[in-house]
């Protein structure tokens, strides 16, 4: 087949967005992430790969999300969404990295052709791509680059822009678009909110209206989602948005948002100043910049900051679902499990194990947790940072729909399990959907934040970012709990940990920021702090040693 016209059109588009010199891009924890100004060529090329991926999968719709989520405002990023709404299949990350790093247009075309040949893709076949972006200032320019690349295909491909929205909404739209049964939901932003609101109303039943909830939107796109969603649930759950300034330069994720709260272990100053939490029995939550993470918090005795992070959400959800399974009389038929990463607080893992719920540990990154969760009938997965969801297998949904309840209580439990599978985003973690899940469980249990918090006591912990000359020298194994490189460093960490009561610490390179992350937990706050400092120093020394050896 003659591909010359297509390749000429792609070349012309790519020429407008040359790769910046001296930068090596890599598809990390959640796609490409770096300064927005460096990304136009990458975004265009990711668009080309989305077309190839769609062609490889018989024209299924592929998503492209332009966001850098929790990162600072000058950063941006891009990730691909597979047809079922999941993260891009891992084996394709290498193709993305390869295209992103081609130095010239000619190299790019050659790499593109070689991927197509190796995977037997007909480059003239139809394809379908849907894309969205968050509110970052660099977004419009990057979307222009994406569109320039996609325009090279002319009417051969179907392209749909759903505008400014959250990452999980894009994942939902991709999944719903590809769902041949039409049962998953209408593939639009509106369709998503209708689905969530309907399931939420079923679950709340006559327990509403619920108390108003303060939501820190990190000055990001979550503010838009929240306002839109509110129209669908009215007074059933009044959502009071805080940090909704989308126009103020530098405000995104700054001193607010889920990442700030989790890493600093404190209230966003804006929330503290507003005094929302000094009233008894109030709690609040924070989204991150693209609203795919959520953490909760409250002030114990009106004074002491208490974090209810992804681990606490996982426990809340898993115990509630476990109880519903038991009440539905389906304990023998449905296997419930929890998936965490090494960042999960040791106390949470112990608590879940004591409840006879199996726990799997995976490397950081939703893609890893998601796949592990699919191995359970109902898989609850949460990263401590608030990223997560609950997956219901198709078989479980069948079982629930075909169950013949023997009592009103069984019938109710089954109805609630089905509604939970609808209120919980089945494609990826969503701050909004997770918020609804938490509020539903609290309403059913009759809990406030204090009662929720009583499940277990977190071991004191610290998460530190360490800047090193080259984070790629840090390699890990055992679900990132051990370092294999630099040589000898893990033994030194082990030695430091062994001196600390209930000590645990690990080191891994971030896949979204230019740093190495050090996590430490221990029996006391000062010991956790001390261990984090010791291990950070070991990391700096180790990195400096490798840099010195390289220099000569
Ligand atoms: C992304 C990933 C998360 C991960 C986080 C931090 O979150 O989707 O799974 O926990 O990055 O990753 P790392 O420690 O490798 O930097 P987000 O919210 O930024 O998309």
pLDDT in tens, 430-462: 999 999 999 999 999 999 999 999 999 999 999
CA of 547 to the centre of ligand 1 (A): 27
What whole-number distance in Å separates Cα of residue 286 and Cα of residue 309?
10
Q: Look at the chain and count its residues.
A: 552
E-strand ranges in 24-74 read: 32-35, 61-66
For the chain, domains (ranges, CATH) are 4-164 (3.40.120.10), 189-306 (3.40.120.10), 310-453 (3.40.120.10), 461-551 (3.30.310.50)
Q: Is the pLDDT at 1 greater than 80, yes or no?
A: no
The pLDDT tens digits for 171-205 are 999 999 999 998 899 999 999 999 999 999 999 99
Q: How far is the CA of 29 from the centre of ligand 1 (A)?
A: 6
500 pLDDT above the threshold of 80: yes
Ligand 1 interacting residues, C-beta cut-off 6 A = 29-30, 69-70, 288, 292-293, 364-366, 383, 385, 387, 510-513, 517
Specify the residue with its C-alpha closest to ligand 1, atom 10: 365
Sheet holding 32-35, edge to edge: 32-35, 75-81, 61-66, 127-133, 157-164
Nearest CA to ligand 1 atom 9: 365
> Which atom of ligand 1 is nearest the CA belonging to 293?
18
Q: Give this complex's ipTM.
A: 0.96
Beta bridge partners of 157: 127
For every residue of 416-453, which 3-state class applies, written as one string?
A: HHHHHHHHCCCCCCCHHHHHHHHHHHHHHHCCCHHHHH
Do 178 and 84 meet the contact criterion of CB atoms below 8 Å apart? yes
pTM (two decimals): 0.95
The predicted-structure confidence for 217-228, as pLDDT tens digits, reads as follows 999 999 999 999
> Ligand 1: distance of its center to the CA of 287 in Å?
14
Q: Which residue has the tokens 């990154």?
A: 365
Tally of CA atoms within 13 A in the half-sphere of 516 that contains its CB: 29
pLDDT of 371 > 90? The answer is yes
In the chain, % of residues over pLDDT 70: 100
Enzyme catalytic residues = 69
- State how far the Cα of 105 lies from the Cα of 117, in Å rounded to an integer: 18
Q: How far apart are CA 102 and CA 35, in angstroms?
A: 19
Mean pLDDT of 18-22: 96
Q: Ligand 1, from 27, 78, 79, 387: best to mutate by most atoms within 8 Å of Cβ?
A: 387
Q: Which atom of ligand 1 is nearest to the CA of 71?
A: 19
505 in a labelled binding site = no
Q: What is the DSSP letter of 236?
A: G
Q: Which atom of ligand 1 is nearest to the CA of 509?
A: 15
């Amino acid at each position: 087949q003659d591909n010359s016209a297509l390749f000429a059109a792609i070349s012309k588009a790519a020429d407008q967005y040359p790769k910046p010199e001296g930068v090596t891009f890599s598809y990390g924890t959640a796609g490409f992430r770096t300064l927005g100004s460096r990304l136009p060529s990458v975004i265009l090329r990711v668009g080309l790969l989305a077309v190839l991926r769609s062609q490889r999968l018989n024209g299924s719709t592929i998503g492209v999300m332009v966001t850098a989520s929790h990162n600072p405002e000058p950063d941006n990023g891009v990730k691909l969404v597979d047809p079922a709404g999941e993260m891009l299949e891992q084996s394709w990350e290498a193709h993305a990295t390869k295209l992103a790093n081609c130095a010239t247009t000619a190299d790019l075309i050659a790499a593109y052709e070689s991927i197509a040949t190796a995977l037997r893709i007909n480059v003239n076949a139809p394809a379908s791509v849907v894309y969205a972006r968050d509110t970052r200032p660099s977004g419009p320019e990057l979307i222009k680059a994406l569109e320039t690349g996609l325009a090279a295909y002319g009417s051969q491909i179907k392209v749909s822009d759903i505008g400014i929205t959250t990452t999980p909404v894009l994942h939902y739209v991709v999944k719903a678009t590809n769902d041949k049964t039409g049962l998953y939901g209408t593939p639009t932003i509106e369709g998503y909110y209708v689905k969530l609101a309907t399931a939420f109303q079923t679950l709340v039943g006559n327990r509403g209206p619920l108390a108003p909830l303060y939501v820190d939107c990190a000055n990001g796109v979550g503010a838009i989602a929240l306002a839109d969603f509110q129209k669908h649930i009215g007074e059933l759950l009044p959502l009071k948005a805080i940090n909704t300034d989308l126009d103020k330069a530098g405000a995104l994720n700054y001193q607010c948002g889920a990442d700030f709260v989790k890493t600093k272990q404190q209230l966003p100053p804006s929330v503290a100043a507003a005094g929302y939490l000094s009233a008894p029995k109030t709690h609040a939550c924070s989204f991150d910049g693209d609203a795919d993470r959520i953490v909760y918090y409250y002030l114990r005795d009106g004074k002491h900051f208490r974090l209810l992070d992804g681990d606490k959400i996982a426990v809340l959800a898993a115990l509630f679902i476990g109880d519903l399974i038991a009440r539905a009389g389906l304990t023998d038929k449905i296997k419930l499990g929890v998936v965490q990463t090494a960042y999960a607080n040791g106390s949470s893992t112990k608590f879940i194990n004591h409840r006879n719920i199996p726990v799997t540990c995976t490397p950081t990154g939703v893609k890893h947790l998601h796949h592990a969760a699919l191995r359970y009938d109902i898989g609850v997965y949460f990263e401590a940072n608030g990223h997560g969801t609950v997956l219901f297998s198709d078989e479980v949904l069948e079982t629930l729909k075909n169950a013949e309840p023997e009592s009103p209580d069984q019938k109710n439990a089954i109805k609630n399990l089905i509604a939970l599978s609808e209120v919980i985003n089945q494609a990826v973690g969503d701050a909004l959907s997770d918020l609804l899940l938490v509020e539903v469980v609290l309403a059913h249990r009759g809990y406030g934040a204090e009662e929720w918090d009583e499940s277990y006591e977190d071991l004191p912990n610290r998460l530190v970012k360490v800047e090193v000359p080259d984070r790629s020298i840090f390699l890990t194994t055992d679900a990132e709990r051990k370092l294999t490189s630099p040589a000898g460093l893990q033994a030194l960490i082990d030695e430091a940990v062994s001196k600390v009561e209930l000590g645990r610490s690990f080191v891994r390179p971030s896949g979204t920021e230019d740093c190495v992350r050090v996590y430490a937990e221990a029996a006391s706050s000062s010991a956790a702090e001390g261990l984090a400092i010791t291990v950070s120093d070991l990391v700096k020394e180790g990195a400096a040693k490798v840099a010195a050896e390289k220099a000569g």
